[in-house]
Amino acid sequence: MRHHRFHHGPDSPPRPPRPASLPEGAHRGLPDAGDAVHADAAVVGELRDLIGWLRQRLRGEHTVRASVLTLEPNGPDSHLILLGEAEARLTNDPPRLKARLDAAELAQIRAEHGPDFDPAGLVNRTVTLSLRTSLRQRFGRGAGVQAKVMGLLSIGQVPLEADLDRERTLQRLRLEGRRFGPETWSEPEDPCDIALVVSEHGEVRRDVEHVLQPLEEAELIRIHRVWAIFEGAGAERSLAEAFARVAGLQREHSLSATLVCRGGGPVEAFRPLNAFGTANAAASSEVPNLITGLGHAGTPRTALDAVAAHSEPTPTAAAMRVRRLVERTGTRAERALADLDAAIEAELEAAGRIALARAGAAFDRVMLDLADLANERLCQLGQAVEQSLLANLAAATGVSAKAASAVATAGIDPLDEGAPLDETGDDDLLSDALRLVIAAGTGRVVTTAEQARAETDLLLHFPDGVVPARVEPLTTATLYATTH
């Protein structure tokens, strides 16, 4: 119960006596912290005395006509009933009172109204209750009013006017060719700007902001709050003006969604939501992705629910739908980033394989060039060694000897029969420097140049080792090609 008004009746707590008048010429000192200064007198009292007086004042039984907004279980055969005004009034923050229905009182009500009585059937109906109220202390929250249901005196009928108003409004919208309902939903890729149409006061705003405010603080969304009145004679005009402001926000910010929320109440309180002016303004193309969370799970469906692209049973559920939109956007962004990373990795891997293949081919070409260069250098080295051996052999034997490469260059075979051996032309024995010449094929010791000409492979034995040699005769064609 949010509003309390206490009237000082005959049983008002006694006030302390007025202070005696000061002597003439005396001056009153400044009041201390315990004084309450008024225009006519100072009233001082202890807080415990005030709470004790309130406890006595609020204790008693009362007969109340109200509407049942919600009903929650509170243990076995015990329920908590949220009571609201029986008739809608022009107020932004209508009063609410939560009363407890215990098992003993429920059994008495069933005895009066029949054994099949179900407390859930009281939701959205006007009832007359007998309540017992008192003041209670709530830990950490101060004093509060508690109520207990003592009896159920009458149960009102469910009104049919709301259903008739809703059907007339929807039929008129269809005749005018207006598009509304789930077909108007367009999935936002990146929800950012959200319009929130809600009452400035009350618990509904706090419930919705409790869900969406973390996203707003993280700068994932921006909430444009539009205050409206949902109950009373001016509610229809207030809601039409609120949707007009939403249309202006749409032109300015390109809204991703429009969220309309209100709390529970009697069925009569939802009549402005069934009015044609409200539904027609909400069905405008400039009110994008309308999401409604009106009342609670037991609230009858309104024309505004039918016009909306998505209708949720409670304001919290409507806020959660917006939250899921943002979370799905984050999931899609993460998936897109993962796909991008995979594509970049594949491109880099392919480019790496191509670069590696090119580097391998270049390396193979360089190695072949190096092998050719090494082979050429080895051939040059072999020719130099061969020339050096033949020069030493010639110096030791006195016989003119040339390497095969040199002979090929000169076009003369040193072992050929027409080639000169020395200046005298004698077939002398090999000198002592060449210790031994052996034919590799037969193992015969060669002692003369004539014998060396007849062999193909020779082994030249020197004091420091053995050198193999090969005798290859040169033909006339080969000599001609070599000299030219």
Give the residue from 281, 288, 225 showing the smallest Cα distance to 251.
Answer: 288
Decide if 193 contacts 322 (C-beta within 8 A): no
User: What's the pTM value of the predicted model, to 2 decimals?
Assistant: 0.52
Summarize pLDDT for 373-420 with one digit per residue, the tens: 888 888 887 777 777 777 776 666 655 554 444 444 444 444 444 444
Residue 379 sits at φ, ψ, to 5 deg, of -65, -45
Q: Is 231 helix (H, G, I), strand (E, B) or coil?
A: coil
**Which domains does the chain carry?**
47-155 (2.40.50.140), 161-329 (3.40.50.10550), 398-483 (no CATH)
Residue 333: per-residue pLDDT: 65
Distances (CA, A) of 277 to 79, 170, 469: 38, 11, 119
Q: What is the pLDDT of residue 165?
A: 85
Q: Considering the chain, what is the average pLDDT of its residues?
A: 77
Task: Please report how the helices 203-217 and 315-397 are oriented relative to each other, as an axis angle in degrees rounded to 10.
Answer: 10
Residue 446: its pLDDT value, please?
Answer: 74
343: confidence class by pLDDT, cuts 50, 70, 90: confident
Q: Please tell me the least confidently modeled range out of 133-137, 389-393, 453-457.
A: 453-457
Identify the three-state secondary structure at position 362.
helix
Q: What is the pLDDT of residues 37-73, one digit of tens each?
A: 444 445 567 877 777 777 777 788 889 888 888 888 8
pLDDT of amino acid 50: 76
Determine the average pLDDT of the residues in 280-303: 89
Q: Calculate Rg over the CA atoms of the chain.
A: 56
What is the phi/psi pair of residue 191, to 5°? -65, 125
Instruction: Find out whether 212 and 223 touch, Cβ atoms under 8 Å.
Output: yes
Q: With bands split at pLDDT 50, 70 and 90, how would you rate the model's confidence at 93?
A: low
Residue 454's pLDDT is what?
A: 64
